[in-house]
Amino acid sequence: MNINVRHANKEDTPLIFELIKGIAEYEKLSDQVEATIPLLEQQLFVEKNAKVLLAFSDDQPVGFALYFYNFSTFKGKKGLYLEDLFVIPEQRGKGIGKTLFDCLMEEAKRENCGRMEWVCLDWNQPAIDFYRSKKARSMDDWIIFRLDEADL
């Protein structure tokens, strides 16, 4: 199996949208997908609010990682924030997620990031185990807060 990873471009937007629907289904959150192809095109490739890495196995799309940069006041440097990493179910266990994650780590190093962060659902034990194998530590003393659009 030949795994290739590349940055997405505007023509990849329909594929990105399908992969987003795939991760939403996996996380049992399909009813929360508000993204559309035009919205993703605008946000990713016009406003450039986030970046996407696409993974291919033998030229077939098999996964993606969506990320953006944040800033750490304590480190005084930008950080890479991984919003989503997803491999289609029938392709799991073949090193695709590891390849995507390793590419993100390299991107963080190349961009001189002070850290890389993400969240993981507490029931996703395979992902938790994988992240711990990469020397990631959970930030159990922090609580995630959120305000949705309607609350702003």
Of all helices (H) and strands (E), which one includes residue 115?
A: none
Residue 134 and residue 85: Cα distance in Å, rounded?
15
Handedness of CA 20, 21, 26, 32 (dihedral sign): positive
Asked if 131 is an active-site residue, the reply is yes
What is the rounded CA–CA span in Å between residue 117 and residue 146? 16
Q: Which of 26, 69, 81, 131 is catalytic?
A: 131
What distances in angstroms separate CA 40 from CA 20, 23, 35, 52, 152, one per listed residue?
10, 16, 7, 11, 22
Helix ranges, 1-152 (H): 13-26, 37-41, 96-110, 125-133
Nearest-angstrom CA–CA distance, 96 and 62: 8
Active site residue ranges: 131
